[in-house]
Amino acid sequence: MPFFIKYQMLEIKNLIHNFKSPDKSEQNVLNIEQFKLDENSQKAIYGKSGSGKTTFINCISGITKPTSGKILFNSQNIPDLNESQRDKFRSVNTGIIFQNYNLLKSFSVLENVLLGMKFSGTVNKNEALEILKRVGLFGKIHSKPKNLSSGEQQRTAIARAVVNSPKLLLADEPTANLDNKNSEIVIDLIKEICTEKGISLLLITHEKEVIEKFEDKINFDELNKRKN
Ligand SMILES: Nc1ncnc2c1ncn2[C@@H]1O[C@H](COP(=O)(O)OP(=O)(O)OP(=O)(O)O)[C@@H](O)[C@H]1O
Ligand SMILES: [Mg+2]
């Protein structure tokens, strides 16, 4: 196993996010005093539905600009960046695995992975083939998502998220649509690839079996002291 010196990669301070309710009143969704993540670490987050977990990782990746607070990623405060700078930051530094895969339907497995590379500026077909081999999809590279099983679609999404070797992988309930056996395969695969490539992992889950695979786990309902 490679040896890495750990240092703090992500530090969040006094993060607040409010959404506007249909009646125009403000709904507080995030109120997090402090959160830290080291480089080369793996952390699971669990908590109730609707508690703000997806909003939290959307703030970290820069998809959502929080109402206030600091999100320091290697000392760069993400909310200080404008939208196009945040898009660039996201494509270079983060990989994201979504609950519903978010694969492009009319593109093949290989094309979906290559498109992931295109956004960060460097397309390397050999690396795309290498990671598809690693996730066990080498025989399916020309298949379209609709001809894949749920587990295969999720493994395509994993390949796309890690192909650029981002510093941080954000996985939002990556096993929600999988049975127990495939869920275990997918979690083990994500953890192994992150260790091999030196990627930090922040993973959201509802599943007890998945939470138990992590030494470092955090209850989001205790972390997030939202005011309602
Ligand atoms: N774009 C939005 N506009 C307004 N409210 C939103 C928006 N996105 C999320 N919310 C609200 O914020 C709260 C938290 O949503 P979020 O999706 O972050 O929860 P979650 O913890 O990821 O839930 P789940 O476990 O079901 O995925 C919910 O009450 C939701 O309705
Ligand atoms: Mg969610």
C-alpha dihedral, 58 to 204 to 93 to 158, nearest 10°: -120
pLDDT digits (tens, 9 = 90+) for 163-187: 999 999 999 999 988 888 889 999 9
How much is the pLDDT for 81? 97
Q: Residue whose CA is closest, atom 10 of ligand 1?
A: 19
Q: In this predicted model, what pLDDT tens digit does every residue of 121-132 receive, in sequence order?
A: 789 999 999 999
Backbone angles phi, psi at 215, to 5 degrees: -70, -40
pTM for the whole thing?
0.93
Tell the residue nearest (CA) to atom 30 of ligand 1.
50
Stretch 205-209: mean pLDDT: 89
**What percentage of the chain carries pLDDT values higher than 90?**
79
How many angstroms does the Cα of residue 213 sit away from the middle of ligand 2? 20
Instruction: Mark the residues whose beta carbon lies below 5 A from ion ligand 2.
Output: 54
Question: In 135-156, which positions are buried (b, 16+ CB within 10 angstroms) versus exposed (e)?
Answer: bebeebbebbbeebeebbbbbb
d(CA 186, CA 180): 10
Q: Using the mean position of ligand 2's atoms as its centre, give its distance from the Cα of residue 52 in Å.
A: 7
Is the predicted pLDDT of residue 6 greater than 90, yes or no?
no
What's the pLDDT score for residue 30?
Answer: 98
pLDDT of residue 119: 78
| Signed CA dihedral, 81, 6, 54, 182: sign only | positive
Query: Nearest residue CA, atom 7 of ligand 1?
Result: 19
Where exactly are the structural domains of the chain?
8-223
Is domain 8-223 classified as CATH 3.40.50.300? yes
Cα 5 to ligand 1 centroid, rounded to whole Å: 36
Average pLDDT in the chain: 93
3-state secondary structure 68-122: EEEEEECCEEHHHCCHHHHHHHHHHHEEEECCCCCCCCCCCHHHHHHHHHHHHCC
Is the predicted pLDDT of residue 108 greater than 80, yes or no?
A: yes
> Which one of the ligands is nearest to 21 CA?
1
Ligand 1 centroid – CA 116 distance (Å): 26
Q: pLDDT, tens digit, for every residue of 145-161?
A: 999 999 999 999 999 99
